[in-house]
């Protein structure tokens, strides 16, 4: 069944969406104008490919017809008939293999038992025994030697390929798993911060098919997870207002795990919605 929205109705939704995005990105855009880097918030626009102007565009999702929507005529993934815009079935067909792969990854992660014992050590493994740290403008909270000791005194079990691939050469053999792109659907699990942050990536990759409200929910989750990710990292970011989660201590581990469980709870319904979206698109 197709729902038809008149211009006055859908344009109001689009304006509200753009205002919400502008409010969320105000700090990032102001810093970008000043060419001022930020180790936490820049990640959502350097690691992930979606640009702020792309995020501002409102997409209604499948089964919606927009009347008087000439502005959507040149947007990829839409077709315009008599001035009304709908998602283009040809674009869905063209991207069917990609949609199916995303669905496989999300569904397998949804079905797998979540794990909560990693304590964010992936960020520590990325600076293990190397002078070439990713955020060189920020000091290591425990220094290089202290950071290495934390890595060596813990069991590292990172299941996420896109975190593992940034491990230093010295750290890779210390991981109990050796994730690959091919093994990603077999290893990702819902307790992983990066797997849950990546819901924003998959929601974005499925645009314009993904309803914008779902994209923004995934974005907001990713932003909050990234904050914990860096608070629990080896970097000292206190000058930016980020108090450390000291995962090298029992209290820090407990704090990290509690937050990790909370994020897993937030991620689960979003992951389910994305699986359902893929099913809807694939028919």
Residue 132 has pLDDT above 90, yes or no: no
Whole-number Å distance between alpha carbons of 206 and 202: 6
pLDDT in tens, 6-37: 999 999 999 999 999 999 999 999 999 999 98
Query: C-alpha 51: how far from its chain's center?
Result: 13
How far separated are the first and last CA of the chain, in Å rounded?
13
Which helix (H) or strand (E) element contains residue 65?
strand 64-66
Closest CA to 64 of 15, 17, 10: 10
Predicted confidence at residue 119, as pLDDT, reads 96
Predicted confidence at residue 134, as pLDDT, reads 86
pLDDT in tens, 42-51: 999 989 989 9
Number of neighbours of residue 246 by Cβ within 10 angstroms:
17
Q: Give yes or no for a contact between 138 and 235, defined as CB atoms under 8 angstroms apart.
A: yes
pLDDT in tens, 235-254: 999 999 999 999 999 999 99
* DSSP structure class, residue 71: G
Residue 1 has pLDDT above 90, yes or no: no
Residue 170 has pLDDT above 90, yes or no: yes
> Would you call 59 helix, strand, or coil by DSSP?
coil
Residue 109 has pLDDT above 90, yes or no: yes
Predicted confidence at residue 81, as pLDDT, reads 94
Band (172; pLDDT cuts 50, 70, 90):
very high
CA distances from 138 to 39, 46, 62, 180, 197 (A): 9, 18, 44, 30, 23
Whole-number Å distance between alpha carbons of 247 and 233: 8
Residue 209 has pLDDT above 90, yes or no: yes
Residue 270 has pLDDT above 90, yes or no: yes
Q: Which residues contact 179 (CB under 8 A, 6 or more apart)?
A: 158, 159, 160, 161, 164, 187
Predicted confidence at residue 237, as pLDDT, reads 96
Predicted confidence at residue 57, as pLDDT, reads 96
Band (277; pLDDT cuts 50, 70, 90):
very high
Band (69; pLDDT cuts 50, 70, 90):
very high
Which helix (H) or strand (E) element contains residue 105?
helix 96-111
Mean pLDDT of 214-238: 97
* DSSP structure class, residue 114: P
């Amino acid at each position: 069944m197709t729902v038809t929205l008149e211009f006055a109705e859908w344009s109001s939704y689009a304006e509200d969406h753009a205002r919400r995005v502008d409010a969320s990105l105000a700090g990032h855009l102001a810093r970008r104008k000043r060419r001022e880097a930020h180790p936490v918030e820049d990640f959502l626009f350097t690691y992930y490919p979606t640009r702020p102007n792309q995020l501002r565009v409102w997409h209604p999702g499948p089964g919606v017809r927009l009347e008087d929507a000439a502005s959507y005529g040149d947007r990829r993934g839409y077709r315009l008939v008599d001035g009304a815009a709908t998602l283009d079935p040809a674009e869905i067909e063209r991207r069917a293999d990609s949609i199916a792969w995303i669905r496989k990854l999300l569904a397998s992660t949804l079905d797998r038992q979540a794990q909560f014992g990693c304590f964010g050590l992936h960020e520590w493994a990325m600076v293990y025994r190397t002078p070439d740290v990713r955020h060189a403008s920020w000091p290591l909270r425990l220094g290089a030697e202290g950071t290495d000791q934390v890595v060596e005194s813990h069991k590292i079990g990172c299941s996420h390929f896109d975190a593992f691939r940034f491990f230093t050469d010295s750290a890779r053999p210390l991981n109990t798993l050796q994730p690959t792109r091919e093994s990603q659907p077999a290893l990702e699990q819902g307790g992983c911060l990066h797997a849950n942050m990546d819901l924003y990536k998959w929601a974005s990759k499925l645009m314009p098919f993904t309803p914008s409200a779902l994209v923004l929910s995934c974005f907001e989750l990713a932003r909050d997870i990234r904050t914990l990710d860096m608070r629990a990292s080896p970097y000292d970011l206190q000058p930016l207002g980020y108090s450390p989660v000291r995962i090298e201590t029992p209290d820090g581990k407990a704090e990290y795990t509690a937050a990790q469980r909370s994020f897993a709870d937030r991620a689960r319904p979003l992951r389910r919605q994305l699986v359902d979206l893929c099913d809807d698109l694939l028919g």
